[in-house]
Amino acid sequence: MSARIIKIRATTDAKKETVRVISPDTLAVSVKEKPEHNLANERIVELVALHFNIPVKKVRFLKGRRSPSKTFLVDIP
């Protein structure tokens, strides 16, 4: 198992949820949730886990909880 640092460019309050690969370690993620009460961050974590086909608990925030630019540590088998 290897841990990778993944950078996320987040868009909240979008009409459609998407995950686009910009580079191997950078994703653009759009979520329908508003950036309130950590709802958007929770959904971003879920979508990143789905993208890499791993459990949600293997995706951890490193920084960017209040910013559109986020950094995650992802344990990829």
**Per-residue pLDDT at 76:** 87
pTM recorded for the entire structure: 0.93
Q: How confident is the model at residue 1 (pLDDT cuts 50, 70, 90)?
A: low
Interatomic CA distance for residues 77 and 69, integer angstroms: 25
Higher-pLDDT residue of 77 and 75 is: 75
**Residues 31, 12: contact at Cβ < 8 Å?**
yes
Q: Which of 7, 46, 48 is nearest to 24 (CA)?
A: 7
For the sheet containing 26-30, what is the strand order? 18-23, 26-30, 2-11, 69-76, 59-63
What is the residue type of 54? I
What are the boundaries of each domain within the chain? 2-76
pLDDT digits (tens, 9 = 90+) for 23-62: 999 999 999 999 999 999 999 999 999 999 999 999 999 9
| Domain 2-76: assigned CATH number | 3.30.1200.10
